Amino acid sequence: MVKNIAVIRGDGIGPEIVEQALNVLNKVAELYGHTFQYTDVDMGGCAIDKYGDPLPEAELQKCVNSDSVLLGAVGGEKWNDVPGHMRPEKGLLRLRAGMGVYSNNRPAKIWKQLSDATPLKKSIVDQGNDIIIVRELIGGIYFGEHKTEGDIAIDVLKYSESEIERIGRIGFETARKRNKKLCSVEKSNVLDSSRLWKKVMHHLAEEYPDVELSDMLVDNCAMQIVKNPAQFDVVVTENMFGDILSDEASMITGSIGMIPSSSLGSTTCGLYEPIHGSAPDIAGKDVANPIGTILSAAMMLRFSFDMSKEADAIENAVSAYLDADYRTADIMSEGKRLVGCRKCGELIISNLRKE
């Protein structure tokens, strides 16, 4: 099978972690007889330097015309002083909108081998933690009007019923495939947009009688994620809340460097990326953790290419790597074996077996 993958190496540690993910994909292709063709795309700070634009239209079209997109990370202090509309992150927002990927799924589970790396106490970890946060990705305050008038700044948070319904369905469908529990997170005691969110979610629940729907205010959810994460299975929420909660959930797993994500819309062409940033302070030092990017590639195989066995092979290889007590610096603990970014990729590839 031939698949065309747009590759955004990006900024900071992006090129390093993407390189390891591509090496893993190449090994999978060898084992299973696939062909992955890569098209490099400039986005973020590197595109600003090259084109004066965080995502030129021609680069966006490469992504739209691909079978899926693999992204490392964008941004960094180097571009902090450019005008707001030119920031590297604007390229990412433009990419999501251009691809029409409105659903961002971020899993957050504690790998059994990393139970000693989580900041949670053992009694909480032992209850288990395997959450998927379904985040609406191309609406809300990030895509609303932004303006500053004198000493007043304005950011508009706006959602339509149709935007809420389509992400709500993703939440219900995801829960239906797991443990049939869905928690809808909003701030309906304060925000009109959240009251509409709650109304739409409860209307949708009538179509999914097999899924248990609960409501939770976002501030309470933030507390409950660290107090009792085992109560959650699938969480669905709006853009900004999902951004914050998924980062919080990732840290209770031990490291943000372990967490992949998928972003999908109405087609199988998705955007796959680790949830962490570009970490320019460690760029080029061969210390970054590539596992989040490698697992993002596995999600691409599973959700966009219908290659479940190949995805399983990658996840099992990561698990075997952790079983052997290898760790990058972000998850290093006493008695483990410290490795760098390149060595981590090499070791995972050495554990790849055809399922």
**Residue-level pLDDT at 163:** 97
Mean pLDDT of the chain: 94
Q: Among 3-17, 114-128, 145-159, 322-336, whose mean pLDDT is lowest?
A: 114-128
Is 107 part of any domain? no
Same domain, residue pair 291 and 353: yes
- Does position 18 have pLDDT exceeding 80, yes or no? yes
Rounded mean pLDDT, 222-245: 96
Question: Is 247 in the active site?
Answer: yes
Give the pLDDT confidence score for residue 176 in this predicted structure. 92
In a domain, residue 207? The reply is: yes
Domain shared by 227 and 264, yes or no: no
Please identify, among 231, 252, 273, the residue that sits at the C-terminal boundary of a domain. Answer: 252
For residues 314 and 295, the answer to whether their CB atoms sit within 8 Å is yes
pLDDT, position 84: 76
Task: Report how many domains make up the chain.
Answer: 2
Does residue 42 have an active-site annotation?
no
Q: Per the residue annotation, which of 219, 281, 323, 325 is the catalytic one?
A: 219
DSSP code, position 334: T
Domain containing residue 185: 119-252
302 within some domain: yes
The token pair at 98 is 């251009």
d(CA 78, CA 17): 20
Same domain, 62 and 161: no
Burial (0-12, 13-18, 19+ Cβ within 10 Å), 58: exposed
> Is residue 219 annotated as a catalytic residue, yes or no?
yes
Domain boundary among 252, 285, 316: 252
Band of the pLDDT at 341, cuts 50, 70, 90? very high
Ranges 183-197, 212-226, 241-255, 274-288: which has the least confidence: 241-255
Beta strands in the chain (DSSP E): 2-10, 35-40, 68-73, 103-109, 130-136, 146-149, 152-155, 181-186, 212-217, 234-237, 262-264, 271-272, 326-327, 337-338
DSSP bridge partners of 183: 214, 235
Please pick, among 142, 159, 208, 272, the residue that the annotation labels catalytic. 142
pLDDT digits (tens, 9 = 90+) for 208-227: 999 999 999 999 999 999 99
Catalytic-role residue among 187, 208, 272, 326: 187
Structure confidence by residue, pLDDT tens digits, 298-323: 999 998 999 999 999 999 999 999 99
Residue 139 belongs to domain with CATH number: 3.40.718.10
